[in-house]
Amino acid sequence: MTRMASYEDTEGKKMIPISHYFRSDYVGFNMVKTAVSVTIAFGIVLGLYIFCNIDTLLAEVYKMDIKEIGRKLLSLYAVILGVYLFVSFLIYTYRYNVAKKSVKSYNNALRRLAAMYDASDSKL
């Protein structure tokens, strides 16, 4: 019981909530969060680039092929997003598997404890 309480307070604090999810839900939810993060970061970098080069951009805005630039930006964004989503898929799948393994022995201990309680109840 002491070990179980200690696990709940330390490693289990992170592992137990993860193990409550289905794998696809946990990984999917975190991939969505990654996509949002990458989108915001990309927006910030793009905004900063536009701000730093505002004079040049304003001077040449009429000569620019906006469609082509938009296409290039979108493909760059898609590549970065794809890489990050792939990395985040690997990381969160690994984390889910580790959490499941970690919680397994805790669940076994819980089962044994429940059996002990049942046994003592039946004696009474």
CB-side neighbour CA atoms (13 Å) of 46: 13
Which listed range, 21-29, 42-50, 71-79, 116-124, lies at the site for other proteins (CB under 8 A)? Answer: 42-50
Residue 64 near other proteins by CB under 8 A:
no
* Pair 93, 23: CB distance under 8 Å: yes
Scan for tokens 């999810």, then name that residue. 21
Residue 33 near other proteins by CB under 8 A:
yes
Among 7, 19, 27, 34, binds other proteins (CB under 8 A): 34
Among 3, 8, 32, 44, binds other proteins (CB under 8 A): 44
Among 5, 46, 52, 115, binds other proteins (CB under 8 A): 52
CB of 111 to other proteins, least distance (A): 11
Per-residue tokens: 14? 């992170």
Which listed range, 20-28, 40-48, 67-75, 110-118, lies at the site for other proteins (CB under 8 A)? Answer: 40-48
Residue 51 near other proteins by CB under 8 A:
yes
Scan for tokens 């592992």, then name that residue. 15
Q: Running DSSP on this structure, what letter comes out for residue 61?
A: T
Q: Output the CA torsion sign for 11, 37, 32, 73.
A: negative
Where do the H-state alpha helices sit in the chain?
2-9, 12-19, 23-52, 54-60, 66-123
Q: Which of residues 93-122 bind other proteins (CB under 8 A)?
A: none
Residues found near other proteins in the complex (CB under 8 A): 33-34, 37-38, 40-41, 44-45, 48, 51-55, 84, 87-88, 91
